Amino acid sequence: MAQYLAHTVNAQLFGLGAGTVGWILTMVTIGVVQWRIWVVSDLSIISSGYAWVGLWKVCFYSHTDLASKYSSLYCQMMGVSDSFVPMEIVAARVLMLVALVLGLLANASTLYGLRNIFFGLGKHRPIRLAFTIGGVLHLLASVSSLVPLGLNMQAVFTNQNISFPENFYMPSAPLQQHVGPAICMGLSGAILTVATGVIFLFYRFPSRRIHPKGQASGTGGGHDNPAFQSEE
């Protein structure tokens, strides 16, 4: 069965690769600080005129004594219990981590299905179940990513403020805001995850056995094998 089904999962192999890349992009997105880029007018402390707002910290370049002697980058962590953190960032912390876990489980499920196909370790039913569960989990992971990404994009487009404490040395409001590369990276990962989910959900077993050269067993004088007529 492994040789027979191995020729039907080329798209699924691509989907596994795309899902893995999407999961990696999601993981990187969580840690990158450039979610929202604030443009500030006062350059006395924020020397570059730009500050980066992420899920866990705020950073900017400064030529003052705020930065260490080894780097001009000044960062302040935003704690879980900090009340000034806006809801879109709080939601992103939770939902992006959920997306990371769902993506990991989805890749594990689809990898299990592909393993059964190539090593002939299972019948059609467990393979279909593994692909279905993996596809659904990939779609759920993409939704968990797209919701916080969309909320933070809306906050950027509407130029929403954040009331940072004084020790953050951030202005009360930015001159303007830009979507950071972290959001773009997260959107790319979510798109790949959606595509992967669709690929695995739409996998169908062939109705008859296919030889490696692509010729059905019923041609050339052969006979169809009834065992391969049913998806079960």
> Residue 154 falls within a domain, yes or no?
yes
pLDDT reported for residue 221 = 45
> Residue 157 falls within a domain, yes or no?
yes
> Residue 228 falls within a domain, yes or no?
no
pLDDT reported for residue 210 = 46
> Residue 15 falls within a domain, yes or no?
yes
Query: Model confidence over 86-126: pLDDT tens digits?
Result: 999 999 999 999 999 999 999 999 988 888 777 765 566 77
> Residue 105 falls within a domain, yes or no?
yes
Number of domains in the chain: 1
Residue range of the domain that includes 22: 2-32+82-204
> Residue 56 falls within a domain, yes or no?
no
The CATH number of the domain where 191 resides is what? Answer: 1.20.140.150
Kindly give the parts of the chain with pLDDT less than 50. 1-3, 210-212, 214-223, 226-232
Distance CA 194, CA 145 (A): 11
Tell me the C-alpha to C-alpha distance, in Å, between residue 157 and each of 31, 67, 124, 188.
Answer: 22, 30, 48, 19
> Residue 47 falls within a domain, yes or no?
no
> Residue 22 falls within a domain, yes or no?
yes
Give the tokens for residue 124.
Answer: 């059609």
